[in-house]
Every structure is written in C-alpha cells, then in structure tokens.
Amino acid sequence: MLFECDQVSFRRGETPVLDRLTFGIDEGSTCIAGPSGAGKSTLLRLLNRLADPAVGTVRYRGRDVRDYDVLALRREVGLVPQLPALLDGTVAMNVSFGARLAGRPTDVRTVLDLAGLDERFADRPASGLSVGEQQRVMLGRALALEPRVLLLDEPTSALDERSKAAVEGTLLDLRQRLSVSFVFVTHELAQAERLADRIVWLEGGRLTADPAPVPP
C-alpha cells in the first residue's frame, strides 16, 4: 500500500475540510476527483506533509508520515502545484533548483526530455514561457529529485485544450518510462478516466465512493 488514511480529519479555522477519511491508495496512478471545495487539494498536501491532519493518521508505505524527515519525504513524494511558481532565471536553473538544494547533480537535458520539453529550452528565461511550458518546467523540477511518487494538483487546469492534451501525453509517457506512481487531483472525470488506474471520489470532505478501477 502506497498511502493509507486512517480517520483523517482536517479543519481550516472552524470550517471542516476533510471528515474522518479512511482509505488506501495503491501504487500506480490514482485520481482524487470531485467538485470544487471537496477537499481534494488539502488531501494531496497531507500526503507529503505540506499540512498535517487535525485528527487521524496518514501513512506512506506503512509508516506514519510524521516519522519521516520532512525534506526527505518531499524529495521522495514530490508535489507539482496547480499554478506554476517559477524563479527568475533560466529554465535550467529552475529545473535544477530543488536538486541543487538537496546536493544532487541534475542532468537538465534528460529531465527536460522527461517533462516533454526540448533541450533548447534550457537557456530560455522562465518568464518568457507559456503557462503550459511553465507547468512542464515545474514537472521537470520535481522529476530532477527522482521521486518515487508524484502528487499533481490539477496539472492542466490553467491550460487550453491543446496544451492539456500535450501534458496528459507527457504524464502517460512518464508512466511507461519511469517506475513512479501518480496521485493527482482533478474535477474533470473524463481526465481521470484517461490518466488513472483508479478514482477516489470526494465530496464535502468525505469519501462518497470506494476507490474503484477505471471502467474499460
């Protein structure tokens, strides 16, 4: 089992966001789906300790996430946020940023290829990229740490249809090329069916259907 949530609840101020969630996530590709405000992004953040539950336990590979060194956990369980947040500088600098902080070398050319970008992007200023290209740089930054799991928060929500299809293609290609599991958030059921092995449906902070395989 990749992740387990055991009676997990989370509140934002006085507002309940997640309510006694108990379920597991297997290796592979799992989608956390549901309407806006369902608690999807919050759940994703709990999986690598960008937030902690008010009640309950989140486990990664059978171990409470609070027992891991938090930076080591986030290198192994990388998060790609919904909106790109790039630094001033080149694409190469942005891609290697997290790995550099961890003291790891980065093969920028290989990482860009995995993220679906040509090596000629390396020296381009990040500020001049389209949103879709920026999202791929964020993906590359996560991949540079060689994670075992990628958490993807609405990875195509800010993209047009053409860019969305390209990013989806990149993600499907990554599953074939790397031994990496995905847990991603979307409110779009059709996308979940294209990308995921199984779907977890959240609504109002509660699991409203058991994790189920994607229908053939």
Please write the tens of the pLDDT for every residue from 22-80: 999 999 999 999 888 899 999 999 999 999 999 999 999 999 999 999 999 999 999 99
Q: Angle formed by the axes of helices 91-101 and 131-143, to 10°?
A: 30
Predicted local confidence at residue 34, as pLDDT: 87
Of 21, 7, 82, 4, the C-alpha closest to 205 is 21
- Mean pLDDT for 152-176 is 89
Predicted model pTM: 0.91
Within a 10 A sphere around the Cβ of 90, how many other Cβ atoms? 18
Q: How many angstroms separate the CA atoms of 180 and 146, rounded?
A: 9
pLDDT for 213 beyond 90: no
Predicted local confidence at residue 209, as pLDDT: 66
Question: The dihedral of CA 26, 177, 174, 215: what is its sign?
Answer: negative
- Mean pLDDT for 171-182 is 90
Position of tokens 């031994």? 179
Contact between residue 126 and residue 89 where contact means Cβ atoms under 8 Å apart? yes
